[in-house]
């Protein structure tokens, strides 16, 4: 059965009116919606239409609703309804006002002890209930933990999300939905037994993941991070467990011991139940009110309370609802952040480094033109700033405070220096073109799907030749270059945004010489690598631009793990495409997106379409808005 893609304005089962898309991933999209009779705001998760006919995926999709209702715990997001409609399988959940732990970490770098424990205890209480019900979560990560404002309490609460790949422990043996050779979960947070598949899983696997989460929120780094998923899984299984102190963070020794015990390779050496961990953490941070207050500062409960009571000023209301406040780096409102973890390089091309408040890392803001300056002048100034590069052409790593003499470094024998120099000489690449790195606040946080990289790469080859493209790839960081060099980019895989950003920056300098060409490359991609994704829009000419844009956003938005896409029609009939939370996108990527949208609309409407950028024609700003007209 063919299902229509969900788009804003559609009615789901005559009950829920869809508003804007608020999230999603490889399996589906999440929309804010409203119950048309009760007036209640909800969140609806849809399985992607192209996956809905897969009975196994549909079964796993509804498993989340079944698991949540089997557990019934206040720290787990509530599932209200589920079904299959014209838009395919869907699950209706409570709508949460706040932000994910992943977003909080992106803004603050790391959390103080009380906030970290304040997040961990509710998650562990939810896991304890799940484990007692015979359910293992298997996909704990910052994006699946939400810090929400509860107006009935006037405080922040923590909700555990996404039981979509949870495992049900049946007395008859393993779940039939876990096939041999298939590993579910996110590599950084896998337990050793989850990574190898050598032994049955139980609740202690989730406790290992909690240990990874605690390490990350306290230090700002992941304990077993490696360049690839396979290398990360290998480190999870074999690498020695790092201490918090080795990352330059000093905490209560009892908390250090808790994290170390959670991260033991042998499940028998970990805590045996989530409840045991809760009791130990409560001894470390005993004051529940202080933990709650620390969480409240992360999402600015005071201002949210004023908004819910109608006491907020118009300016405060705009700030709170703005995507800029949800994703901006720095100290929002009155938060007292944790001490700094890294010292950013003082010179970053395309950015100016702003002085950070005490305890926070400096943030890089996009350079803005002076009053009256043209965009071309701003871009010219942007390109003239120096960049810190290693001899391999990669941006220099950030320096932790722990690296500045606070801990002993391993001794290097003089005989080793020759080998080090030779290795460095072997990996050095000549004629390195200086480019600005992706701003540090976005590093490792966001991904783009394979079709974007394939489209950009193929179009460069077709338009400028393989030798020009090879020159670009030759100067890319080695960890990203191989996929381009061997044409092994997979359309179904998400790739680090850094890979696309490095490619675009180098291609701009070495090949295009003109930023506006990225808009042309976006247009050309629609007739090439992107055609199979958008061809459903070309089935018949559509003259209703608003409807066309809504259908298009359900496709385009899946290409990125960032950005909130919505379409609006003004009083005069003008149609606007607005993308919020688009901070990680550079100017080349923005122009490429506009070109892709423009050409898709032109082909789908069978006529001339004009797309005018009205907001966000500078890289690394919160929003991008375009006006579309025939």
CA 558 and chain centroid, separation: 12
pLDDT at 390: 33
**Is 139 considered catalytic here?**
yes
> Nearest 5°: CA angle at 435, between 434 and 440?
130
Q: What three-state secondary structure class fits 249?
A: coil
Q: What percent of the chain has pLDDT over 70?
A: 75
167-181 pLDDT, tens digit per residue, is 666 534 444 334 333
Q: Which of 112, 139, 206, 583 is catalytic?
A: 139
Q: How far apart are CA 585 and CA 554, in angstroms?
A: 19
Q: Name the least confident of 59-68, 119-128, 176-185, 327-336.
A: 327-336
pLDDT at 594: 95
The pLDDT confidence band at residue 522, using thresholds 50, 70 and 90, is very high
Which pairs count as long-range contacts for 411-420, CB under 8 Å and 24+ apart, including other chains?
none
Q: What is the mean pLDDT of the chain?
A: 77
126-175 pLDDT, tens digit per residue, is 999 999 988 898 889 998 899 999 988 889 999 998 876 666 665 344 44
Q: Name the least confident of 201-210, 406-415, 441-450, 535-544.
A: 406-415
Res 415 pLDDT > 80: no
Task: Decide: pTM greater than 0.75.
Answer: no
Is residue 15 a known part of a binding site?
no
Phi-psi region of 330 (alpha: psi -120 to 50; beta: other; left: phi over 0): left
61-116 pLDDT, tens digit per residue, is 888 788 888 888 999 999 999 999 888 899 999 998 888 898 888 778 889 999 99
Task: Look up residue 81 and give its two tokens.
Answer: 């309804």
E strands in 95-180: 98-100, 135-136, 145-150, 155-160, 167-168
Q: Name the least confident of 362-366, 436-440, 469-473, 620-624.
A: 362-366
Closest CA to 134 of 110, 167, 111, 162: 167
559-569 pLDDT, tens digit per residue, is 998 998 988 88
Domains of the chain, each with CATH number or no CATH: 11-94 (3.30.200.20), 98-298 (1.10.510.10), 345-404+413-630 (3.90.1520.10)
Q: Name the least confident of 82-86, 431-435, 578-582.
A: 431-435
Res 346 pLDDT > 60: no
Res 366 pLDDT > 70: no
The pLDDT confidence band at residue 36, using thresholds 50, 70 and 90, is very high
């Amino acid at each position: 059965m063919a299902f229509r893609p969900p788009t804003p304005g559609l009615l789901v089962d005559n009950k829920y009116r869809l508003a804007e898309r608020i999230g999603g991933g490889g399996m589906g999209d999440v929309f804010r919606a409203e119950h048309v009779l009760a007036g209640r705001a909800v969140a609806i998760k849809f399985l992607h239409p192209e996956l809905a006919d897969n009975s196994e995926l549909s079964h796993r999709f509804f498993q989340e609703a079944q698991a949540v209702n089997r557990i019934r715990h206040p720290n787990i997001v509530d599932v209200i309804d589920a079904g299959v409609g014209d838009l395919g399988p869907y699950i209706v959940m409570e709508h949460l006002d706040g932000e994910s732990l992943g977003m909080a970490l992106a803004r603050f770098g790391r959390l103080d002890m009380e906030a970290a424990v304040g997040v961990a205890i509710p998650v562990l209480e939810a896991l304890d209930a799940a484990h007692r019900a015979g359910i293992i979560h298997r996909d704990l990560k910052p994006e699946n933990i939400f810090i929400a404002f509860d107006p009935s309490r006037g405080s922040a609460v923590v909700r555990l999300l996404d039981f979509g790949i949870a495992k049900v422990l049946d007395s008859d043996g393993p779940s039939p939905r876990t096939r041999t050779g298939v590993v579910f979960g996110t590599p950084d947070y896998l337990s050793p037994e989850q990574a190898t598949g050598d032994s049955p899983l139980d609740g202690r696997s989730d406790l290992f993941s909690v240990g990874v989460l605690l390490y990350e929120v306290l230090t700002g780094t992941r304990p077993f991070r490696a360049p690839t998923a396979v290398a990360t899984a290998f480190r999870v299984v074999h690498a020695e467990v790092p201490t918090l102190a080795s990352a330059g963070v000093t905490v209560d020794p009892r908390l250090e011991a808790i994290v170390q015990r959670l991260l033991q390779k042998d499940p028998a050496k970990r805590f045996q139940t989530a409840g045991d961990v809760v009791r130990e953490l409560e001894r470390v941070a005993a004051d529940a009110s202080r933990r709650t207050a620390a969480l409240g500062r992360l999402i600015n409960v005071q201002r949210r309370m004023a908004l819910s009571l109608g006491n907020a000023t118009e300016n405060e209301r705009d700030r709170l609802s703005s995507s800029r406040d949800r994703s901006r780096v720095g100290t929002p409102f009155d938060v007292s952040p944790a001490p700094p973890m890294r010292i950013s390089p003082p010179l970053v091309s395309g950015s100016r480094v702003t002085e950070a408040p005490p305890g926070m890392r400096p943030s890089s803001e996009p350079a803005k033109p002076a009053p009256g300056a043209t965009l071309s002048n701003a871009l010219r100034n942007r390109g003239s700033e120096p960049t810190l590069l290693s001899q391999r052409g990669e941006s220099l790593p950030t320096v932790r405070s722990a690296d500045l003499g606070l801990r002993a470094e391993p001794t290097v024998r003089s005989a080793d220096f020759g080998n080090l120099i030779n290795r460095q000489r072997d990996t050095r690449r000549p004629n390195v073109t200086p480019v600005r790195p992706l701003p540090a606040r976005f590093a490792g946080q966001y991904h783009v799907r394979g079709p974007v990289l394939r489209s950009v790469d193929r179009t460069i080859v077709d338009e400028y030749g393989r030798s020009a493209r090879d020159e670009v790839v030759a100067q890319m960081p080695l960890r990203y270059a191989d996929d381009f060099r061997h044409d092994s980019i997979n359309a179904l895989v998400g790739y680090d945004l850094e890979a696309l950003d490095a490619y675009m920056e180098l291609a701009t300098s070495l090949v295009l010489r003109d930023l506006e060409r990225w808009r042309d490359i976006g247009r050309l991609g629609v007739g090439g690598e992107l055609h199979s994704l958008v061809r459903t829009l070309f089935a018949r000419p559509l003259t209703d631009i608003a409807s066309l844009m809504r259908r298009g956003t359900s496709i385009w938005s899946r290409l990125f793990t960032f950005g909130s896409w919505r379409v609006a029609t003004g009083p005069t009939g003008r149609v606007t495409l607005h993308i919020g939370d688009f901070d990680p996108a550079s100017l080349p990527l923005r122009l490429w997106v506009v070109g892709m949208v423009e050409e898709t609309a032109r082909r789908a409407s069978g006529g001339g379409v004009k797309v005018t950028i009205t907001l966000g024609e500078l890289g690394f700003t919160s929003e991008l808005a375009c006006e579309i007209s025939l």
